[in-house]
Structure 1
Amino acid sequence: MAAKVFESIGKFGLALAVAGGVVNSALYNVDDGHRAVIFDQFRGVQDVVVGEGTHFLIPWVQKPIIFDCCLQPRNVPVITSSKDLQNVNITLWILFQPVASQLPRIYTSIGEDYDERVLPSITTEILKSVVARFDAGELITQRELISRQVSDDLTERAATFGLILDVSLTHLTFGKEFTEAVEAKQVSQQEEERARFVVEKAEQQKKAAIISAEGDSKAAELIANSLAMGGDGLIELWKLKAAEDISYQLSRSGNITYLPVGQSVLLQLPQ
C-alpha cells in the first residue's frame, strides 16, 4: 500500500516538474529598451514586434530574438582619397538604433549582427563618394560642410536598411607626405611675411628720415629768411626759451635757493 502511495507521489511530482518546465519554457522577458521578434518553426519570422514585459510563446515551436533598440555608439575609421589623390584618414562617430517596426525585415534580410554587416560598408561607401568631390585644401577649410554632407547622405542610406543614425566627423588627417608639404609651405609663408615686414619697416624709416630732413631744411630756410628780413621777434623767442631752460636748470640745482626777481637770467646773451 505504501509503495503505491510513493509511486503516486512520484508520478505527481514528475508531472509537476514537467508542467513547470513547459510553463517556464513558454515564458520570456523583453527588457527595457529592447524589442523581440518571434521565429516560428512552421511559419518563419512573424511580422509582429513584441514590446517590453513578460510574454508567452509555444515551447519548442517558437523562439524569441531580442534586439537592443537603444542608441548605441560606434567608431568607424575609413581610409580614402581626395579629389587631388591625397590619402585621407577619417573617423566617424555614429549613434545608431534600429527602427522597431522594421525588426522582422532586418532579421530576415541582414541578421542579428546587422550593425557589423551594414555600418562599415555604407560608411565607407558614403565617405569615399563625398571626399572624392573635394581636394585636400577644401577638406581642411570646408570641414563643417563635408561633415554635414556625410551625415545627410549616410542617414539617408541607412534608412533603406531600417536604421536611424546620428553622425559626426571626429577625426580627419592626411598622409605623411602631404602633412610635411603643408608644414613646409606654412614655414615658407611665415618667412615671406617676416621678410616683407622687414622691407616695409625699412621703407617707412627711410620715408620718416626724408620727411625729417625736409622739415629741418624748411625750418633753416625760414629762419634764414626771417634773419635776412630783420626779424627780431624770432631772436626774442629764442631768448625766452633759453631763459626758461636756464631757470629750470637753476631751480633743480642744490646750490641755488632762490632766483633774484627782476634780474635777467639770460646771462648777457648777445643782442
Structure 2
Amino acid sequence: MGTERLLTERIRGLIRPASSSGRHQGAGRTPELGREVYQNSIMAALIDGVYDGDVAVEQLLERGDFGVGTFNHLNGEMLVLDGTCFHLSANGRVETARKEDLSPFSVMVRFAPDEALEVPTPMDRPELTQLIDDRTRGPNLIYSVRVDGNFSEVRTRTVREQSAPYPPLIQASADQAETVFTGLQGTLAGFRTPEYLQGISVAGYHLHFIDELHTRGGHCLDFRILSGTVSICEHTALRIRLPAVGKFLDADLSSPDLGEQIRDVEGR
C-alpha cells in the first residue's frame, strides 16, 4: 500500500470520535468531549507549506482551553493555557492572541488531568519524558501534558512569518530564531502522540514553553528542570478538521521522507 493511501486510510479512521473508555473521567467532562482532541489540519500539510489559516482563535477556544499550534503565514508559535491563547513571536515578544487571528495548524483539548506527580529530582528532557511514559497506559493513546516548574535551562525556537509563495517547512524552519533561557519559572505544555499518527500530527512529544510572567517562550527543543509538577490527561478520541479550500486541496501529503522531515523540523 502506497504512502498516500496509507495516510488517507489513517485519516478516514480518525475522523469519527473513538471510544470514551479511560482510567478516570475528569470532573464535568462528557464521555466524548472530555476525551476528545480537536485538530485543525494535519502536520503533513504544514510540512508542504500550507500556511494560510482559515480557523480563528475564537473558534479554537470553543474547542478547548489547552493546546499548541501556529499562526497565519507561520507567524510564530501558539500556546493555549487555561483558556488564554498566547502568540509567541520570533522577535521574542509574547502577546495575547486576538480572537480573529487565524491558524493553519493547531491542536486543542479540554484539559482535566487524570494525574499529577512531582518531579522527584532534577531531570533533562529524556528523563522527564520517560517519567511521563511510565505513568501512561501505553504508547497508543494521546496524552496532553503540562509541566509547571523551576527550569535551569530551556532551549526554544520560534518560526518566522513567511510570504507567498511559501517554502516547505523544512526550508522555512532553517531561518528560525533560537533562544536559550536560563534560571526561570515557567510552563511546558503540549502532547505526547503515538508513532502511528506521524504525519497526521507530530509523533512523540510536541511541547511549547512560556515563562511564568508570560513574557518569553517558544517551541521547546530541550530543557532541564530542577523541580516542579507534571499533569497528565489521557485522550481516546481525535477529531480532525480538514481545510476545504486553498493549497491544501492539492498539497503533497505523501512525501516518502515525511517522518524524517517532521523530526528535523521539531529538532529531534
| TM tier relative to shorter chain | under 0.3
Give the structure with higher Rg (CA): 1
Bigger relative contact order, structure 1 or 2 (CA pairs below 8 A, ≥6 apart):
2
Q: Tell me the TM-score normalised to structure 1 length.
A: 0.17
Higher strand content, 1 or 2: 2
